[in-house]
Protein backbone atom coordinates (compact mmCIF):
# COMPACT_ATOMS: atom_id res chain seq x y z
CA UNK A 1 0.00 0.00 0.00
CA UNK A 2 1.19 3.48 -0.80
CA UNK A 3 2.89 5.19 2.13
CA UNK A 4 0.97 8.36 1.23
CA UNK A 5 -2.16 6.96 2.89
CA UNK A 6 -2.31 8.84 6.15
CA UNK A 7 -3.52 7.70 9.54
CA UNK A 8 -6.84 9.55 9.66
CA UNK A 9 -10.49 8.64 9.91
CA UNK A 10 -12.11 8.54 6.52
CA UNK A 11 -15.60 10.04 6.88
CA UNK A 12 -18.41 9.48 4.41
CA UNK A 13 -21.49 11.71 4.52
CA UNK A 14 -24.44 10.51 2.46
CA UNK A 15 -27.39 12.66 1.39
CA UNK A 16 -30.28 10.44 0.35
CA UNK A 17 -34.01 9.89 0.42
CA UNK A 18 -33.33 6.37 1.74
CA UNK A 19 -30.83 6.55 4.61
CA UNK A 20 -31.89 3.08 5.75
CA UNK A 21 -29.94 1.68 2.79
CA UNK A 22 -26.69 2.51 4.63
CA UNK A 23 -24.31 1.09 5.66
CA UNK A 24 -25.95 -1.90 3.99
CA UNK A 25 -23.30 -4.40 2.85
CA UNK A 26 -20.58 -2.07 4.12
CA UNK A 27 -21.71 -2.93 7.64
CA UNK A 28 -20.63 -6.54 7.08
CA UNK A 29 -17.34 -8.41 6.73
CA UNK A 30 -14.06 -6.50 6.98
CA UNK A 31 -15.53 -3.13 5.99
CA UNK A 32 -18.11 -3.46 8.75
CA UNK A 33 -15.48 -4.45 11.28
CA UNK A 34 -13.45 -1.40 10.25
CA UNK A 35 -16.53 0.76 10.71
CA UNK A 36 -17.09 -0.60 14.23
CA UNK A 37 -13.42 -0.09 15.09
CA UNK A 38 -13.58 3.53 13.97
CA UNK A 39 -11.18 3.10 11.06
CA UNK A 40 -13.77 4.95 8.97
CA UNK A 41 -17.11 6.56 9.72
CA UNK A 42 -20.45 7.04 7.99
CA UNK A 43 -23.28 9.49 8.56
CA UNK A 44 -26.50 9.77 6.57
CA UNK A 45 -28.75 12.77 6.00
CA UNK A 46 -32.38 12.61 4.93
CA UNK A 47 -32.97 15.04 2.05
CA UNK A 48 -36.73 15.01 2.71
CA UNK A 49 -36.23 16.77 6.04
CA UNK A 50 -35.72 19.90 3.94
CA UNK A 51 -38.71 19.29 1.69
CA UNK A 52 -41.34 21.89 0.88
CA UNK A 53 -44.73 22.14 2.59
CA UNK A 54 -46.69 19.81 4.77
CA UNK A 55 -45.79 16.77 2.64
CA UNK A 56 -42.09 17.61 2.48
CA UNK A 57 -42.03 17.62 -1.31
CA UNK A 58 -38.53 17.27 -2.76
CA UNK A 59 -39.24 17.16 -6.49
CA UNK A 60 -41.22 18.97 -9.18
CA UNK A 61 -42.05 18.79 -12.88
CA UNK A 62 -39.15 19.39 -15.28
CA UNK A 63 -38.98 22.92 -16.70
CA UNK A 64 -39.89 22.80 -20.38
CA UNK A 65 -41.94 19.64 -19.92
CA UNK A 66 -41.00 16.01 -20.21
CA UNK A 67 -41.31 12.74 -18.38
CA UNK A 68 -40.52 12.17 -14.74
CA UNK A 69 -39.71 14.54 -11.91
CA UNK A 70 -36.62 16.55 -10.97
CA UNK A 71 -35.06 16.95 -7.53
CA UNK A 72 -35.46 20.60 -6.52
CA UNK A 73 -32.35 22.78 -6.21
CA UNK A 74 -33.58 24.65 -3.12
CA UNK A 75 -34.37 21.44 -1.25
CA UNK A 76 -31.09 19.72 -2.07
CA UNK A 77 -29.04 22.86 -1.38
CA UNK A 78 -30.64 23.17 2.05
CA UNK A 79 -29.85 19.53 2.80
CA UNK A 80 -26.21 19.97 1.73
CA UNK A 81 -25.80 23.19 3.71
CA UNK A 82 -27.20 21.55 6.85
CA UNK A 83 -25.01 18.46 6.52
CA UNK A 84 -21.75 19.93 5.28
CA UNK A 85 -20.16 23.05 6.82
CA UNK A 86 -18.76 25.56 4.36
CA UNK A 87 -15.24 24.90 5.63
CA UNK A 88 -15.52 21.15 4.95
CA UNK A 89 -12.92 20.36 2.26
CA UNK A 90 -14.14 16.88 1.36
CA UNK A 91 -15.02 16.31 -2.31
CA UNK A 92 -18.74 16.71 -3.00
CA UNK A 93 -19.84 13.95 -5.33
CA UNK A 94 -23.14 13.33 -7.12
CA UNK A 95 -23.74 9.80 -8.35
CA UNK A 96 -24.95 10.27 -11.91
CA UNK A 97 -24.95 8.17 -15.12
CA UNK A 98 -23.61 11.18 -17.02
CA UNK A 99 -20.68 11.68 -14.65
CA UNK A 100 -16.99 10.97 -14.98
CA UNK A 101 -16.31 7.20 -14.97
CA UNK A 102 -15.16 5.98 -11.56
CA UNK A 103 -11.53 4.87 -11.79
CA UNK A 104 -9.03 3.37 -9.37
CA UNK A 105 -6.80 6.45 -9.45
CA UNK A 106 -9.72 8.59 -8.26
CA UNK A 107 -10.49 6.10 -5.50
CA UNK A 108 -6.90 6.16 -4.26
CA UNK A 109 -6.91 9.95 -4.11
CA UNK A 110 -10.11 9.99 -2.05
CA UNK A 111 -8.91 7.19 0.24
CA UNK A 112 -5.90 9.22 1.41
CA UNK A 113 -8.05 12.23 2.25
CA UNK A 114 -10.58 13.06 4.96
CA UNK A 115 -13.44 11.34 3.13
CA UNK A 116 -16.23 12.23 0.73
CA UNK A 117 -19.69 13.77 0.65
CA UNK A 118 -22.00 11.81 -1.65
CA UNK A 119 -25.35 12.99 -2.96
CA UNK A 120 -27.64 10.19 -4.14
CA UNK A 121 -29.96 11.41 -6.86
CA UNK A 122 -33.42 10.05 -7.63
CA UNK A 123 -36.16 10.66 -10.21
CA UNK A 124 -35.15 11.97 -13.66
CA UNK A 125 -32.26 13.97 -12.28
CA UNK A 126 -31.14 16.92 -10.18
CA UNK A 127 -31.70 20.59 -10.94
CA UNK A 128 -28.51 21.73 -12.69
CA UNK A 129 -28.30 24.87 -10.58
CA UNK A 130 -27.54 23.03 -7.36
CA UNK A 131 -24.83 21.01 -9.12
CA UNK A 132 -23.17 24.28 -10.08
CA UNK A 133 -24.03 26.20 -6.92
CA UNK A 134 -22.73 23.59 -4.47
CA UNK A 135 -19.76 22.39 -6.52
CA UNK A 136 -20.92 18.82 -7.06
CA UNK A 137 -18.72 16.53 -9.16
CA UNK A 138 -20.78 13.97 -11.06
CA UNK A 139 -19.44 10.40 -10.90
CA UNK A 140 -20.69 7.34 -12.80
CA UNK A 141 -20.00 3.68 -12.01
CA UNK A 142 -20.97 2.50 -15.50
CA UNK A 143 -22.96 3.00 -18.66
CA UNK A 144 -26.32 1.88 -17.29
CA UNK A 145 -29.20 3.35 -15.30
CA UNK A 146 -30.01 2.58 -11.66
CA UNK A 147 -33.13 3.50 -9.70
CA UNK A 148 -31.09 5.93 -7.63
CA UNK A 149 -27.59 6.82 -6.55
CA UNK A 150 -27.51 4.73 -3.38
CA UNK A 151 -26.18 1.51 -4.92
CA UNK A 152 -23.58 3.49 -6.84
CA UNK A 153 -22.56 5.27 -3.62
CA UNK A 154 -22.08 1.93 -1.87
CA UNK A 155 -19.85 0.78 -4.73
CA UNK A 156 -17.73 3.92 -4.57
CA UNK A 157 -17.39 3.68 -0.80
CA UNK A 158 -16.42 0.01 -0.91
CA UNK A 159 -13.63 0.86 -3.34
CA UNK A 160 -12.36 3.57 -0.98
CA UNK A 161 -12.79 1.79 2.35
CA UNK A 162 -10.80 -1.28 1.34
CA UNK A 163 -7.74 0.96 0.89
CA UNK A 164 -7.89 2.35 4.42
CA UNK A 165 -5.05 0.92 6.56
CA UNK A 166 -6.26 -1.85 8.81
CA UNK A 167 -9.57 -2.51 7.06
CA UNK A 168 -8.54 -5.41 4.83
CA UNK A 169 -5.97 -6.83 7.23
CA UNK A 170 -3.28 -6.91 4.53
CA UNK A 171 -2.20 -4.88 1.55
CA UNK A 172 -5.20 -4.49 -0.76
CA UNK A 173 -3.83 -2.03 -3.28
CA UNK A 174 -0.69 -3.66 -4.58
CA UNK A 175 0.64 -3.08 -8.04
CA UNK A 176 -0.66 -6.45 -9.25
CA UNK A 177 -4.34 -5.64 -8.72
CA UNK A 178 -6.50 -4.80 -11.71
CA UNK A 179 -6.23 -1.17 -12.86
CA UNK A 180 -3.25 -0.39 -10.62
CA UNK A 181 -0.67 -0.62 -13.40
CA UNK A 182 -2.79 -0.34 -16.53
CA UNK A 183 -3.45 -4.09 -16.69
CA UNK A 184 -6.15 -6.45 -15.54
CA UNK A 185 -5.04 -8.89 -12.87
CA UNK A 186 -3.46 -12.24 -13.74
CA UNK A 187 -5.31 -15.54 -13.00
CA UNK A 188 -5.19 -17.00 -9.50
CA UNK A 189 -4.90 -20.67 -8.48
CA UNK A 190 -4.78 -22.67 -5.25
CA UNK A 191 -5.27 -26.27 -4.06
CA UNK A 192 -5.99 -28.92 -5.15
CA UNK A 193 -3.17 -29.42 -7.63
CA UNK A 194 -5.49 -31.30 -9.99
CA UNK A 195 -9.21 -30.58 -10.42
CA UNK A 196 -11.48 -32.15 -13.06
CA UNK A 197 -8.49 -32.84 -15.25
CA UNK A 198 -7.15 -29.32 -14.95
CA UNK A 199 -3.75 -28.83 -13.40
CA UNK A 200 -1.86 -25.82 -12.14
CA UNK A 201 0.34 -23.86 -14.55
CA UNK A 202 3.88 -25.23 -14.47
CA UNK A 203 5.38 -21.81 -13.83
CA UNK A 204 3.54 -21.54 -10.50
CA UNK A 205 4.99 -24.86 -9.37
CA UNK A 206 8.57 -24.01 -10.31
CA UNK A 207 9.54 -22.13 -7.16
CA UNK A 208 11.37 -19.71 -9.46
CA UNK A 209 10.15 -16.24 -8.42
CA UNK A 210 11.45 -14.57 -11.56
CA UNK A 211 9.69 -17.12 -13.76
CA UNK A 212 6.48 -16.76 -11.76
CA UNK A 213 6.59 -12.97 -12.06
CA UNK A 214 7.21 -13.22 -15.81
CA UNK A 215 4.27 -15.64 -16.22
CA UNK A 216 1.95 -13.41 -14.22
CA UNK A 217 2.91 -10.35 -16.24
CA UNK A 218 2.37 -12.19 -19.52
CA UNK A 219 -1.02 -13.47 -18.39
CA UNK A 220 -2.07 -10.01 -17.24
CA UNK A 221 -1.12 -8.58 -20.63
CA UNK A 222 -2.97 -11.39 -22.45
CA UNK A 223 -6.18 -10.95 -20.47
CA UNK A 224 -6.07 -7.18 -20.81
CA UNK A 225 -5.47 -7.45 -24.56
CA UNK A 226 -8.45 -9.79 -24.91
CA UNK A 227 -10.90 -8.02 -22.61
CA UNK A 228 -9.83 -4.38 -22.25
CA UNK A 229 -7.53 -3.31 -25.10
CA UNK A 230 -8.48 0.27 -24.30
CA UNK A 231 -6.40 0.03 -21.11
CA UNK A 232 -3.31 -0.92 -23.09
CA UNK A 233 -3.80 2.00 -25.43
CA UNK A 234 -4.34 4.40 -22.56
CA UNK A 235 -0.98 3.38 -21.08
CA UNK A 236 0.87 3.36 -24.37
CA UNK A 237 1.07 -0.42 -24.56
CA UNK A 238 -1.37 -1.01 -27.39
Provide the CATH number for the domain around residue 41: 3.40.1280.10
> Which of residues 117, 139, 161 is at a domain's end?
161
Same domain assignment for residues 188 and 212: yes
In a domain? residue 63: yes
pLDDT at 179: 72
Look up the CATH number of the domain holding residue 228: 1.10.1270.20
Residue 194 domain-assigned (yes or no):
yes
85 lies in some domain: yes
Q: Are residues 42 and 143 in the same domain?
A: yes
Instruction: Please give the Cα distance from 132 to 6 (Å, whole number).
Output: 31
Which residues have a Cβ under 8 Å from the Cβ of 39 and sit 6 or more positions away?
Answer: 9, 10, 164, 165, 166, 167
The answer on 41 and 157 residing in a single domain is: yes
pTM of the model: 0.89
Let me know whether 138 and 233 are in one domain. no
Q: Which domain holds residue 136?
A: 10-161
pLDDT score for 4 = 38
Instruction: Identify the domain boundary among 131, 161, 191.
Output: 161
Strand 137-140 and strand 70-71: pairing?
Answer: unpaired
Same domain for 138 and 105, yes or no, is yes
Domain count, the chain: 2
- The pLDDT, as a whole number, for residue 62 is 95
pLDDT (tens, 9 = 90+) of the chain, 238 residues, equals: 343 344 479 999 999 999 999 999 999 999 999 999 999 999 999 999 999 999 999 999 999 999 999 999 999 999 999 999 999 999 999 999 999 999 999 999 999 999 999 999 999 999 999 999 999 999 999 999 999 999 999 999 999 999 999 998 765 445 556 676 789 999 999 999 999 999 999 999 999 999 999 999 999 999 999 999 999 887 666 6
- Out of 161, 184, 216, a domain closes at 161
Same structural domain, 88 and 147: yes
Across the strands, what pairs with 11? 41, 115
- The answer as to whether 213 is a domain residue is yes
In this structure, the answer to whether residues 119 and 181 fall within a common structural domain is no
pLDDT of the residue at 2: 41
Same domain membership, residue 39 and residue 138: yes
pLDDT for 171 = 53
Q: Is residue 79 part of a domain?
A: yes
| 4 located within any domain | no
Same structural domain for residues 15 and 133? yes
Per-residue model confidence (pLDDT) at position 73: 98
Note whether residue 110 is domain-resident: yes
Same domain for 123 and 29, yes or no, is yes
pLDDT at residue 177, rounded to an integer: 64
- Per the domain annotation, does 3 fall within a domain? no
Strand partners, 113: none
Q: Are residues 36 and 124 in the same domain?
A: yes
Amino acid sequence: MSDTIRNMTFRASILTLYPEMFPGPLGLSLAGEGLRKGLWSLDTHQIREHGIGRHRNVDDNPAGGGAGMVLRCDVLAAAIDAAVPAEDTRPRLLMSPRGRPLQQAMVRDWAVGPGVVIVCGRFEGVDERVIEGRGLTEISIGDYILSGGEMAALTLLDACVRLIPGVMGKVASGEDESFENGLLEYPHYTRPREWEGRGLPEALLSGDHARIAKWRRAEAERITRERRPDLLKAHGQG
